[in-house]
Every structure is written in structure tokens, then in C-alpha cells.
Amino acid sequence: MFSKIKTIIALLIFITTAVHAQQYAGKLKIERLVDTTVNAIGQKIAYPQFKDAKVTMAKITFPPGETTGWHKHLIPVFSYVLKGRLTVEIEGHPPAEYKEGDSFVESYDTYHRGTNKDTTDVVLFVVYLGGDGQPLAVKKQ
């Protein structure tokens, strides 16, 4: 449980500000999980302007063989693998694999799907930066 709380705190710190250890007192251990200006397929990270901004944090569990189905995001999405190994197929790009402890910035406006190809659950911690009623994901028709 403490490990999950530590992970959540680290992700929140990452998302809200550029973190430098000297900004804090005490013996905190801060590990940068992602420090980039581009997402998983090289697209420049851009934050949409919303009148009513909204942050959604989710824990997503993929049983063995389960997939998200093809979808895309029109908002920034940040993922951290808490458990297992996730395979992500991205239109026009080679597949990527993310294992426990990996962090990644998901592709923007590009269809992709995540699949658990292993025999145990995959668990993700995901942060969506949205607002104004924007859906978290758009399914491929």
C-alpha cells in the first residue's frame, strides 16, 4: 500500500510542477518518472486550454488477454505501470511494451490499443488532463 501511495505522490508532483529535490526539506527521495517534451511517439506535448479544467486519475486493471480496443486521446494522458507488462499498438508506429515501473506519455490524436498478452493482470495508474466535457478517450469507429 505504501508503495502505491508513494507512486501516486510522485506522479502528482511530476504533473503539477517541475520538481527539484532541493525545493523540499527533509530526506524525501524524489525519482523522476518522466522528464520529456514529447510523448511516446515523438509528438510535442501541448496542454489544451479549457474553461473548466479537470484532472482524472484512474487505476485500470487488464485481466490476461484483455485490451482497451482501438481508441485515441484528445487530451494529455500519463501512464505508470504498477503491475505486469502492457503491449501498446499504435497506428503507423511499431508496438511498444511497458513493464512494471515504466512510465509513459500516451500518444495524442493517434489510434492505439493496449493489450495484456501475459497470464497475470496488468495494472496501470493513469492521469488524464481534460475539461469542458472532453471525453477521456474516443473509440475508433
Grid cell 515523438 — which residue?
Answer: 42
pLDDT above 60: residue 114: yes
Measured CA to CA, the distance from residue 20 to residue 27 in angstroms comes to 13
Model confidence over 69-111: pLDDT tens digits?
Answer: 999 999 999 999 999 999 999 999 999 999 999 999 999 999 9
Domains of the chain in sequence order: 34-139 (2.60.120.10)
pTM for this structure?
A: 0.80
136 within 8 A of 22, measured Cβ to Cβ: no
Residue ranges of E strands in 1-141: 53-62, 71-72, 77-83, 85-90, 93-99, 103-105, 112-115, 122-131, 138-139
